[in-house]
Structure 1
């Protein structure tokens, strides 16, 4: 009789081969061309086809349209309009505590913790460089040394607008060109320096707790990244690092305000400076999170007296 563990080994080998094949193909695919094609396709106003595709997508990924401001799938003029749908105003309440950090997205925690020796955790046994993530700028990386990071993965079923974790004023937007690997857990575990290799928009804010970065990481089929202050950042695809300084005229946003969106899904990385905040204990790998829920707290001794959230 075959031992049960022996019977399971072929299944594990098949899964491992499938994962390697999935990741390996991504090195060969024309990532940007496919993403540009997806950008075009998801904006076509083809009513019959679009409504069929949305209904199929809702069924496959179990999307909860009851939370949407527009719950009728037939009301969306394009697939992208559905994908970037707004939620009802009461769907994601903010924390009551003034020093609470609100989750900026719906998704799952990939990794969260402290930045140590200039490195962040990408996956089990795989680290990557803070400076590389921030476009190779050592002075920018120094702002977050020994600080906190949280990597939040947005799956296809999730809400894809991004909201402010705390109040802040935009200081700088940095667009870093790169690859467009998938950012799902399988690829994150296999591709070295994934988040520092993919195209990304680094949004740097001044806050009452010090500097905060919200990094929007692109991925394959992410046809576009947008912010409320500059509308579409991509496409067109940047060929070199582009820095837009907001100066003293940068927009000030309150906690919970929408500030960006992914047109198709990806990953958000939060960075806080050392001694400015701490994460809630439940912020562990694999944990589901919802936009607006409390994921951490600002250190009270860093808040000016009488300051408002």
Structure 2
């Protein structure tokens, strides 16, 4: 067994949720010694600078979570004029067509679109044979998620699951990774049809939250739960506006209906992207 496979195998054995929730308690601590120790160790290890953030000194963050979800300066990430922009800073793991209900994860690994979106075939149907993009957020990236285009929220689904790491090694070795991990599925009506924006949890991701509902994970319960939004209570979120955040980082999966958008030819697997960068254009 290779070292990579051994490290992945260990993830099946450790108490993923217990470890993640424990780390979450530390990350939320406002004890100055605890927070500043972890902030400075993390910043040094990942070479993080604060030149484009609203808070310019590490000592001014009250907790590790405040540091990790730090806000950018207003003009730090210009929003491109293209119809669809990147919702995050990160690296494109994969992008391309959805083959019926199958999404490509890595060589030898596909996963179910239906399972990714919570297991309801009717909800997944609009995206069959559509297109997708998977973007990985490294620990050093900005960890707020913004809208790739303007949309009205239609539903949100919390899907319980595992908390495997979502780095490249795990992506290459865990079947159906993104449809197995804990996640929050947000479906929006847009001028390009329905868009699914899936926030995927991972090992030591202490929580996922949205701007309209607050903290979604960790939840109480072990079954999927759906929030429906009607015309009167559905938030409309503008392109480039913040819609959520990870408290410790993970992955975003975007899905669009068939014949709705076309990805920028310059972007492919392993491409680095920044929030607001042109990602795709409309085909309608």
Whether TM-score is above 0.5 comes out as yes
Q: Please identify, of 231-240 and 146-155, the stretch whose mean Cα deviation from structure 2 is larger.
A: 231-240
Which residue of 13, 16, 20 corresponds with 1:28?
A: 13
Q: Which residue number in structure 1 is paired with residue 216 of structure 2?
A: 233
Q: Which residue number in structure 1 is paired with residue 116 of structure 2?
A: 133
Q: Are residue 162 (structure 1) and residue 154 (structure 2) matched?
A: no
Q: Which residue number in structure 1 is paired with residue 202 of structure 2?
A: 219
Q: Are residue 75 (structure 1) and residue 60 (structure 2) matched?
A: yes
Judge conservation of contact 2:81–2:278 (CA < 8 Å) in 1: no
Residues in 2 aligned to 1:220 and 1:214: alpha-carbon distance in whole angstroms? 20
Q: Are residue 192 (structure 1) and residue 175 (structure 2) matched?
A: yes
Give the gaps of 5 or more residues in structure 1: 1-15, 302-309
Count of aligned pairs? 283
3-state secondary structure, aligned to 2:2: helix
Q: Which residue number in structure 1 is paired with residue 88 of structure 2?
A: 105
Which residue of 47, 50, 69 corresponds with 1:62?
A: 47
3-state secondary structure, aligned to 1:226: strand
Judge conservation of contact 1:154–1:265 (CA < 8 Å) in 2: yes
Following superposition, the deviation at residue 247 of structure 1 comes to 1.3
Following superposition, the deviation at residue 17 of structure 1 comes to 2.2
TM-score, structure 1 as length reference: 0.89
Residues in 2 aligned to 1:49 and 1:225: alpha-carbon distance in whole angstroms? 22
Deviations 1:114-164 (A, max 9, x none): 101211110122111111111111111111011110000000000000000
Following superposition, the deviation at residue 49 of structure 1 comes to 3.3
Residues in 1 aligned to 2:122 and 2:108: alpha-carbon distance in whole angstroms? 27
Regions of 4+ moved over 6 Å: none
After TM superposition, the structure 1 = structure 2 runs for residues 282-301 of structure 1, keeping only pairs within 5 Å, are: 282-299=266-283, 301=284
Higher helix share: 1
Residues in 2 aligned to 1:214 and 1:132: alpha-carbon distance in whole angstroms? 14
Judge conservation of contact 1:174–1:203 (CA < 8 Å) in 2: yes
3-state secondary structure, aligned to 2:20: helix
Q: Which residue number in structure 2 is paired with residue 13 of structure 1?
A: none
Which residue of 272, 290, 293 corresponds with 2:256?
A: 272
Residues in 2 aligned to 1:55 and 1:177: alpha-carbon distance in whole angstroms? 32
Residues in 2 aligned to 1:283 and 1:125: alpha-carbon distance in whole angstroms? 22
Alpha carbon RMSD of aligned pairs, Å? 1.1
Judge conservation of contact 2:26–2:34 (CA < 8 Å) in 1: no
Q: Please identify, of 273-282 and 16-25, the stretch whose mean Cα deviation from structure 2 is larger.
A: 16-25
Judge conservation of contact 1:177–1:237 (CA < 8 Å) in 2: no
Judge conservation of contact 1:170–1:206 (CA < 8 Å) in 2: yes
After TM superposition, the structure 1 = structure 2 runs for residues 8-19 of structure 1, keeping only pairs within 5 Å, are: 17-19=2-4
3-state secondary structure, aligned to 1:24: helix
Residues in 2 aligned to 1:22 and 1:40: alpha-carbon distance in whole angstroms? 25
3-state secondary structure, aligned to 1:188: helix
Q: Kindly tell me: are residues 297 and 237 of structure 1, through their superposed partners in 2, closer, same or farther at Cα, counting changes over 3 Å?
A: farther
Following superposition, the deviation at residue 283 of structure 1 comes to 2.0
Q: Are residue 122 (structure 1) and residue 97 (structure 2) matched?
A: no
TM-score, structure 2 as length reference: 0.97
After TM superposition, the structure 1 = structure 2 runs for residues 246-261 of structure 1, keeping only pairs within 5 Å, are: 246-248=229-231, 249-261=233-245
Following superposition, the deviation at residue 237 of structure 1 comes to 4.6
Give the gaps of 5 or more residues in structure 2: none
